[in-house]
Copies of this chain bind each other. A is one copy, B any other.
Amino acid sequence: MTSGRIIGFAAGLDLEDVPDAVRHEARRALCNIVGVAVGGSSLDASQISVRLATKLGDARHARAVGTGCWAAVDRVALVDGIMAHVLDFDDTHLPSVYHPSAPVFSALFPLAEWTGSSGRELLTAWVVGLEVGMRLALALGREHYDAGWHVTGTAGVVGAAAAAGRLLQLDEGRMAHCIGIAATQASGHREQFGSMTKSLHAGNAGASGLVAALLAEGGFTAAASSLDGRRGLFHVMSPNPDPKQLDSGLGSAWVLPENCIKPYASGVVTHPAIDGARALKEEYGVAPEEIDSLVLRVNPLVTELTGKDDPQTGLEGKFSVRHCAAVGFLFGAAGPPEFDDAVVRAPDVVGVRERIRVEPDPAIPHMQAVVEAGLRSGRTVRVDVVDARGTPGRPLTDDELAAKVDGLCAPVVGAERSRELRQRLIAVEGEGSIAPVVDLTVGL
């Protein structure tokens, strides 16, 4: 099958063959996703899934991050995946709108704890899962997403299976079955965006991918043509698949570094405006009381997706580019605290928000923005955002990533443990096993 090379890659990748830059980006993605999952661990969707995992058995294979809840390995995968995606703050592969880390993390982290795998083994499987998932998302094509599929659920289950299969050291034959068993379970409709079930897609992808690997390990078989057969994944689920994206340049032209770590907890289209508003204060020293008017010139898609004028809740705030820019300006941040209901209604935030006007302009690309402040002094300050933070042209620095992770984890585990957690994750190859890292995701 077309997927012949990807099977060999998944079963055989050695960490020595992964360039340093790719490895570093992979470690950053791991650090980010653990932080995001810990940050999402107290939300309702997470807590409901933890209660169900506990209700369904008392196996102590592994612990869900953030909560320390013990459960069977696949139940932890479901919970970890929900936690990692529920804040909409995980990483994104922009061309495919795929969130690479949540499904793979959710399969791999509990499996590594259960099997006592080393950090090096974890990182190898992690690279496999990210690269396979991202390539599969590209192969399914943008039309797959446009047709209504949540590609994080569909490509994610295969990425998760490949990673879990690699950690279980499946040979090529079993890896092919593992990937086939996973491919036929691809699921998740975009209709669920805005409901708890969106995050379930990531958890299901991780859990189903993990179970696919365990079934294949046990001798369960799937069709050889699971991906590219006439009634396989590509043709059934994509109007215009491009299967060569799976194999082309595999192992040399890495897709993994195209992954983007989100700086802000709102949709990516709001990010250029947030960056511009931040720059007004951080680079030009503009103070709130100086501002007379604040104009955001953005692509019309931005107002279409995030045009809510007068948000009343945190969730509505994420869909209001005005709110996003206001908190960016005031706090230099747009993380979970800035989307708290109280912040959305706070007088100083409302005060800035009301002075913001949004001007859709089709000439501006959707990941760029122009922000113009008219000051009481009569002066105008203009910021042109070409490369928004977290896009390939301006990736988060390691320090910004550290600050993001601390912002998410410190409220849960304390500042000191948060720092140790991210330091150990970014050097995960040195860990003899994962359990001590999981310890650090839980407060004392």
Question: Which residues of B have CB within 8 Å of A51?
Answer: 218
* A363 → B minimal CB distance (Å): 29
Whether A270 is near chain B, meaning CB under 8 Å from some CB there, is no
Residue A223 CB within 8 A of the other chain:
yes
* Alpha-carbon gap, A321 to B232, bound state (A): 27
A235 at the interface (CB under 8 A from B): yes
This chain: copies in complex: 2
Contact A236 B192 (CB under 8 A): no
Q: Are B192 and A223 in contact (CB under 8 A)?
A: yes
Task: Identify the closest chain B residue to A147 (Cβ).
Answer: B236
**A34 interface hit (Cβ, 8 Å):** no
In this complex, what residue of B is CB-closest to A224?
B195
Q: In the complex, which residues of chain B have a beta carbon less than 8 angstroms from the beta carbon of A49?
A: 215, 220
CB distance from A444 to the nearest CB of B (A): 28
Nearest B residue (CB) for A214: B52
Asked if A74 is at the interface of the complex by the 8 Å CB criterion, the answer is: yes
Per-position 1/0 for A188-218, Cβ under 8 A of B: 1111111111001100100010010011001
Contact at B74–A191, with CB atoms within 8 Å?
no
The reply to whether the CB of A222 lies closer than 8 angstroms to some CB of chain B is: yes
A-B contact pairs, 10 of them (CB 8 A): A48-B218, A52-B215, A147-B236, A153-B184, A181-B197, A184-B201, A185-B187, A192-B222, A194-B223, A200-B215
- Given A149-B236, A185-B188, A196-B221, list of 11 further CB < 8 A pairs? A49-B215, A52-B211, A57-B59, A148-B231, A181-B200, A189-B232, A190-B236, A191-B225, A192-B222, A197-B222, A197-B223
